[in-house]
Amino acid sequence: MIIQRNYSPSALPKGTDVAELTSRIIGPLTLLIERSGIDQDNALGLRVHLDWIQYKTCFRDPVVVRRAVDQQEQPLPLSEIAIDLRQAATPKFEEYLTAAVESLKGIPASNGQDPFVLDTFKPWRESIIWPFNRLFWQQLGDWEAYAKRGFEAALPSGGSDANHPDAVKEGVVEFWELLHDLDKRGQLPHDIYAMEIGVGSGARARLWLDQFQTFDTEKGTGYYPRLKFLLGDYSPSTLDTALAAVGPHAPLCSVIPIDATNPFKVLSFLRFKILFVHLTNVYDNLTFDEIARRDNQLYIVEVRPYVSAANAEKIQAEFGFDRAQLPGAIKRLLAYGPESVGEHEKGMAFWTRIWDVLRLEERLRAIDEGDDSHLPKGVSRSPLDDVLSEVPHDIRFHLSRGAAESFVNTAALLHPRGYLQVQDIFVTSIKDYVHGFRGPGKLDGSFVTWVNGAFLHAVGARAGYHVNFAPFTHRKGSKTQVLYTKRRD
């Protein structure tokens, strides 16, 4: 048995006696394993991962079992038990532990009730969380009304770092300085293009435009009237809201329905023309995968959605389905929205309930060295190789596909002196993945995942950019980092 501690004690809440907690778990677990009759080879190779999952809600039960399979889905002699220490105090923790050990032998749950499995194993990028995520953003208003609070209130800080006036002012001054420098050299284009991707309510864009106009007026440089400000979002209704929010600046603004992973697709006519692109909390909600390395073999993490038997029963009783109808109801919910399940209130209740109890079983599927299908589109294997050359042999990390694609397809629009700024939660050193769980966790009806900044750094280097990160300093305790690009010479 190999015990792996995946957290840094310093990151845990004050007063956590993690040594005591761990010993309370490892003792019974060892007994369970020793007495379970598990094959000795399997017992010797069994990895026990101790995690501390910060999210209040996530997709994992307190104890889960992960198995490894080869590319043809045949079992490999590698199994893992992952334990969330944060949930160790849960009343049924020992039951979870027992069930996990029994399942290593292929024995069904001791109460005879197997989880209700909703789909097959798939990589994260193709998993069920994406239709849930899409539904949430499409029907955000309904969710907020039902939950009786705005989405931003669900953020750990109770608000977004996007709209901090001092941060916006700092960005405005930086941008003005770039324009001024180009102007001095006679290289300032007549049309000054700037863009906000994931514009949301439009509050940040409004603030930015207000401050830019004021600063430009103070300086008397006349850049503001030359500004072409692009408001980008994938939702047309969001864009309508954002356009209304920018108020008097609307004549300078264009709304662009945009896929954040590929802005170039609709804006190719602005290739090498945009001087500034900003995104806040967009990358953390784009597609990702997880890669694990165990004994020098790479695996992609695949997940399979399930609802525990007990929860499935409760939902069936509450909403009047029988067991066979449940998958169809979920399918309808994701395809057509809550009203497809019943009248609005019932549909909303079903949606929030299912999301609340949804869990994902994980397995590790070996990656064929010659298979590049897990790589983001437009990104070669080299950045991943760069990252892997720096990490410990045993590690699990995000392959932030959507963020990498977005980066590459946004950089293609940048003017030679243009730059990209992204406010988000980044893991800036790949080694930090061994120090804590980085998501995904549930956030209202959506989810949030840390973004692999180290991978973006490597992607940027191959695309001609230095990618640097700086902490967001305008709010104490903020976990936000700001990604800055600078052209590599």
Partner 1 sequence: MASQLPPLPTTVIGSYSMPAWLERAKNDFLQRKVSRHDLDEMYDAGRKAAIKDQETAGIDIISDGELHRDNMIDYFAERIPGVLIDHGSKRLYYDFYDSVVRSKLATGSLGLLEEVRFLKKFSQRPSKISVSGPHALVKRIRNAFYPSEEAFALDLARVMNFEVRELVREGATHIQIDEPYYSGFPEDLPWAIKAVNALVDGVSAHVTLHICYGNRYGKPSFEGTYRYLFPQVLEANVQALSLEFARRGEDDLQLFKEFKVPFTLAMGVVDVKTNDVEPAGLIADRIRRALGVIPAERLMINPDCGLVHLPRDIAFNKLSAMAEGARMVREGLK
Site for partner 1 in 409-438 (CB under 8 A): 414-416
The β-bridge partners of 297 are: 294
Give the nearest distance from C-beta 36 to partner 1 in angstroms.
Answer: 45
- Should residue 380 be labelled a site residue for partner 1 when binding is judged by CB under 8 A? yes
- Should residue 486 be labelled a site residue for partner 1 when binding is judged by CB under 8 A? no
| Nearer residue to partner 1 within complex by CB, 159 or 189 | 189
Q: How far apart are CA 211 and CA 203, in angstroms?
A: 12
The residue within the footprint of partner 1, chosen from 77, 159, 166, 272 (CB under 8 A), is 272
Q: How far apart are CA 270 and CA 264, in angstroms?
A: 8
CB 206 within 8 A of CB 249: yes
- Should residue 189 be labelled a site residue for partner 1 when binding is judged by CB under 8 A? yes
Site for partner 1 in 457-476 (CB under 8 A): 461-464
Please give the helix or strand (H or E) that residue 388 lies within, else none.
Answer: helix 382-388
Interface segment toward partner 1; rule CB under 8 A; list 120-128, 207-215, 237-245, 455-463: 455-463
- Should residue 393 be labelled a site residue for partner 1 when binding is judged by CB under 8 A? no
Interface segment toward partner 1; rule CB under 8 A; list 250-258, 280-288, 361-369, 408-416: 408-416
Give the interface size with partner 1 as a residue count (CB under 8 A): 18
Give the nearest distance from C-beta 415 to partner 1 in angstroms.
Answer: 7
> Token digits for 378?
């437009």
Q: How far apart are CA 137 and CA 440, in angstroms?
A: 17
Give the nearest distance from C-beta 413 to partner 1 in angstroms.
Answer: 11
Closest CA to 289 of 123, 89, 441: 123
- Should residue 248 be labelled a site residue for partner 1 when binding is judged by CB under 8 A? no
Q: How far apart are CA 368 and CA 298, in angstroms?
A: 8
The 3-state DSSP class for residue 471 equals: strand
Q: Please give the torsion angle defined by the CA atoms of residues 37, 38, 41 and 46, in that order, rounded to the nearest 10 degrees.
A: -140
The count of C-alpha atoms lying within 13 angstroms of the C-alpha of 397, restricted to the half-sphere facing its C-beta, is 30
Interface segment toward partner 1; rule CB under 8 A; list 197-205, 280-288, 333-341, 380-388: 380-388
Give the nearest distance from C-beta 264 to partner 1 in angstroms.
Answer: 10
| Nearer residue to partner 1 within complex by CB, 418 or 441 | 418
- Should residue 159 be labelled a site residue for partner 1 when binding is judged by CB under 8 A? no
The β-bridge partners of 466 are: 486
Give one DSSP letter per residue of 43-84, joined into a string.
HHH-EEEEE----SSBS--SEEEEEEE-TTS-EEEEEEEEEE
Give the nearest distance from C-beta 28 to partner 1 in angstroms.
Answer: 47
Q: Which residues bind partner 1 (CB under 8 A)?
A: 186-187, 189, 271-272, 380-382, 414-416, 461-464, 487-489
